[in-house]
């Protein structure tokens, strides 16, 4: 069946890592599941868990007001507060809502600033997940892409790409982006593995990753994620999916989550990569759909063997 999962990725024009497990962890279907991968926004599950744990045990006031100032210092992103033109004030606990449902980057970085990168790493390592590491906030990682391409940062790179330049010059810059971006090298950026992420989800769904209220809050918000074209696309009602997606500059596309049948649940962690630069051309829709199909193939094997 592993070959069937691999064929799903091949047909979509991507490589992939997958780990799908029963909720008790007794059985799994895995493909390259211990290889380090770029977390992208999947890391927001770990950040949410740590923040909700601090709120549950009294270290962080969930009603604490947090100001997200307007201007160039706000973390870039395609949705949510990143698009707001004015100052935003929000509670700490509502930052978690924006982070997990919309994958909001300013909310993520504000929450990470409150709890601390070290606290997230300590929490996750304390669960035995030593291959899952946060190296910096979203703004710093995105900014590094611009710097690695020879610009002052991300915004300068985007401004240059949006300005009129001869096509060969734009192609050359794009090649530098994909060739030099340390954000695409797992060992140099925020990273995890498919198996460790699947384990983290199991621990959250069984209240073993932190205080029960913290785990419940993460589960509830993941169930409300707006993205429905990856894992959720592989399953039909009455099956439900609670998930967190992630992606980076058209190369990394990930989604992790819990697939709930009426009688049982399965955790799934799926990470994919496609070529960038001159070799780019992957069908975004095909790769997104492959994430759901690969998970469905793996779940199907587990259900056949129960």
Give the rounded percent of residues in the chain with a pLDDT score beyond 70.
97
Residue keyed to tokens 């033109």: 85
Q: What is the mean pLDDT of the chain?
A: 95
Tell me: pLDDT of 108 over 80.
yes
Taking only the tens place, the pLDDT of each residue in 290-299 is: 999 999 999 9
Domain with residues 2-304, CATH architecture:
3-Layer(aba) Sandwich (3.40)
- CB burial class (10 A; 0-12, 13-18, 19+) of residue 226? exposed
Q: Say yes or no to pLDDT of 166 above 60.
A: yes
CA quadruple 195, 16, 154, 41: dihedral sign: negative
Residue 275 banded pLDDT, cuts 50, 70, 90: confident
Q: Please check the confidence at residue 279 and state whether its pLDDT lies above 60.
A: no
Q: Work out the average pLDDT over 157-165.
A: 94
Model confidence at 27, in pLDDT bands (50, 70, 90)?
A: very high
The pLDDT, as a whole number, for residue 1 is 44
State residue 72's pLDDT score: 86
Q: How confident is the model at residue 184 (pLDDT cuts 50, 70, 90)?
A: very high
Residue 2 clears pLDDT 60, i.e. is over it = no
Q: Which residues of 278-306 are buried (b: 16+ CB within 10 A; e: fewer)?
A: eeeebeeeebbbbbbbbbbbbbebbeeee
* CB contact at 8 A, 41 and 245: yes
229 has a pLDDT exceeding 70: yes
Cβ atoms of 219 and 208 closer than 8 Å? no
The predicted pLDDT at position 3 comes to: 60
Residue 227 C-beta-side C-alpha neighbours within 13 Å: 29
Q: What pLDDT is recorded for position 277?
A: 57
Residues 6+ apart with CB under 8 A from 267: 20, 21, 23, 198, 201, 202, 205, 256, 257, 258, 259
Residue 305 has a pLDDT of 73
* Domain parsing of the chain, residue ranges: 2-304
Which pLDDT score is estimated for 280?
A: 57
Lowest mean pLDDT among 49-53, 134-138, 279-283: 279-283
Question: Residue 281: which pLDDT band, with cuts at 50, 70 and 90?
Answer: low
pTM (two decimals): 0.95
The three-state (H, E, C) secondary structure of the chain, written as one string: CHHHHHHHHHHHCCEEEEEEEECCCCCEEEECCCCCEECHHHHHHHHHHHHHHHHHCCCCCCCCEEEECCCCCCCCCCCHHHHCCCCEEEEHHHHHHHHHHHCCHHHHHHHHHHHCHHHHHHHHHHCCCCCCECCCCHHHHHHHHHHHCCCCCHHHHHHHHHCCCCHHHHHHHHHHHHHHCHHHCHHHCCEECHHHHHHHHHHHHCCCCCCHHHHHHHHHHHCCCCCCCCHHHHCCCCCEEEEEEEEECCCEEEEEEEEECCCCEEEEEEEEECCCHHHCCCCHHHHHHHHHHHHHHHHHHHHHCC
pLDDT over threshold 60, residue 278:
no
Determine the pLDDT at residue 94. 98
């Amino acid at each position: 069946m592993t070959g069937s999962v691999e064929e799903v990725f091949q047909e979509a024009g991507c490589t992939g890592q997958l780990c799908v497990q029963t909720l008790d962890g007794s059985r799994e279907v895995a493909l390259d599941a211990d290889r380090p991968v770029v977390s992208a926004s999947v890391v927001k599950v770990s950040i949410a868990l740590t923040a909700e744990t601090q709120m549950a045990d009294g270290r962080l006031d969930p009603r604490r007001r947090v100001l997200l100032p307007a201007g160039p210092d706000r973390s870039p992103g395609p949705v949510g507060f990143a698009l707001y033109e004015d100052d935003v004030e929000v509670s700490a606990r509502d930052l978690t809502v924006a982070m997990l449902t919309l994958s909001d980057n300013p909310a993520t970085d504000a929450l990470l600033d409150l709890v601390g990168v070290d606290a997230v790493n300590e929490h996750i390592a304390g669960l035995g997940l030593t291959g899952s590491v946060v190296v910096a906030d979203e703004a710093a990682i995105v900014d590094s892409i611009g710097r690695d391409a020879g610009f002052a940062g991300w915004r300068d790179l985007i401004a240059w790409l949006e300005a009129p330049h001869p096509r060969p010059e734009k192609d050359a810059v794009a090649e530098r982006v994909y060739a030099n971006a340390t954000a695409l090298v797992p060992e140099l950026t925020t990273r995890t593995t498919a198996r460790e992420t699947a384990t983290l989800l199991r621990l959250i769904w069984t209240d073993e990753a932190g205080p029960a209220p913290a785990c419940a809050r993460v589960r509830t918000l993941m169930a409300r994620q707006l993205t429905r074209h990856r894992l959720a696309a592989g399953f039909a009602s009455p099956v439900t999916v609670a998930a967190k997606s992630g992606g980076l500059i058209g190369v990394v596309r990930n989604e992790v989550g819990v697939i709930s049948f009426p009688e049982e649940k399965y955790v799934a962690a799926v990470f994919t990569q496609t070529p960038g630069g001159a070799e780019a051309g992957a069908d975004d829709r095909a790769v997104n759909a492959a994430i759901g199909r690969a998970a469905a193939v793996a779940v199907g094997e587990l259900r056949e063997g129960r």
